[in-house]
Amino acid sequence: MKQLRPYPQAVITKKGARFLEAGNVWVYDAEVLEMRPAPLDGREAQNGDLVDVVDEKGGYLGTGLLSQQSKIRVRIVSRNANDRFDEAFWERKIRWAWDYRQTVMGRASLPGCAPDTDCCRAVFSEADGFPGLVVDRYGDVLVTESLTVGMERLRPVLFPLLARIVGENGTPVRGIFERNDARIREKEGLPLYKGWYDLEGLPTPESARLVVAENGVRYNIDVENSQKTGFFLDQKYNRRAVARLAQGRRVLDCFTHVGTFALNCAVAGAEFVHGVDISATAVDCCRHNAELNGVADRTRFTCANVFDLLTGLDGDRDAMREAGGPFDLIVLDPPAFTKNRKTVHEATRGYRQINYRAMRMLPRGGYLATCSCSHFMDDQLFRDVIREAAHDAGVQLRQVEARQQAPDHPIVWGIPETSYLKFLIFQVV
């Protein structure tokens, strides 16, 4: 006799079933035909509960977390009907995620530097089987985002496990800071807040400001008030790749944020680096970080709109000299110009404009590092935009490298949303 299961059921369409069978982990609200009570005890599903997803014939497709207010109605966490979703289950998943980082990042640190797992993403949402949960490690502090009601409810189980497992073979974790202030939480019916999570047995840290090291470069970051979790870890190895080209060059780093590309270039021996960001707070942080790394004498940071700055520098020799140019290495690391399919066309104009201006400013033999962090700007579209910009600028590009996000932000085939960062390095020939 088939054993009755203790979870309510979401019955989905054939289209939804095919979507899951192709490797994705989302069930959209439009694909849910009906919600059924748990076969074992008749329990109705509550928001954030585990539910079994079944096809129209009752065939098991997986178990996921229910979000009653979201268009993504169920997010799969397991496809194994034998799994028991107790603390041991979640511990296995956390260990699996952390062991992966230790394998792919642990031996990648530069000579004389701390292991790359001292500053990395420990959990990457759906890519690690924790839908809506992001965990970044900065030394002895974990910074988290819980973006779904299911992960929000699981925090008392997950967070002590995370602190223990991540801190087992290295620096003990002294605190977990929650950055639950992203407005996407409102789609889940969740409140916005940020602050230290109360970890039993540990005192609350006094400050949310941290000094982290990556690629041998030190940064003073504010995990409470900076963007996202305070630092963009996905560009770690892309920063290293650009730094290899920087020695003896004059560098313009656009959308510099806390100065990551700029400082990697300066520490690598660039003659001069000019970083630009529209945020005055970010620029102040850049200047402090330059002092921290002993490169303040070879760097300048300006608070300005990058679009306006590039337009003003293009073709104006006096303005170029005043800015510290001419530049022979330009880095374009903009924020996502589009976060949905409806605005992709507008985004292409933005990417085309900044790349066109940068290409016109570079001499023959100069280098351009350019990227897009939007999932909706797919790889082919981004390449087409760069190709059009090069044609309009009257230059030819020689590709040096095509890169993506660091492996602590894994790409899972079947989940296209996990592949988002496109990073291209060219020489103007």
Q: Quick check: 245 and 239 in contact, CB under 8 A? A: no
DSSP designation for 103: H
Beta bridge partners of 353: none
Close Cβ partners of 335 (under 8 Å, ≥ 6 residues apart): 255, 373
CA distance 281 to 56: 54
Q: What are phi and psi of 313, to 5 degrees?
A: -80, -30
Say which of 119, 120, 254, 373 is annotated catalytic: 373
DSSP designation for 4: P
Beta bridge partners of 178: 144, 195
Preceding peptide of 326 cis, ω within 30°: yes
Q: How many residues does the chain have?
A: 429
> Residue 399 is inside which H or E element, if any?
strand 397-403
DSSP designation for 277: E
Structure tokens at 356: 């066109």
Q: Quick check: 278 and 213 in contact, CB under 8 A? A: no
Per the annotation, the verdict on 254 as an active-site residue is no
Structure tokens at 42: 């008749």
Close Cβ partners of 199 (under 8 Å, ≥ 6 residues apart): 159, 160, 163, 175, 176
> Residue 32 is inside which H or E element, if any?
strand 32-36
Structure tokens at 139: 């030394």
CA distance 14 to 313: 56
Close Cβ partners of 160 (under 8 Å, ≥ 6 residues apart): 199, 200
Q: Quick check: 254 and 306 in contact, CB under 8 A? A: yes
Tokens 């509550």 belong to residue: 46
Question: Helix or strand or coil: residue 303?
Answer: strand
> Residue 64 is inside which H or E element, if any?
strand 60-66
Residues annotated as part of the active site: 373
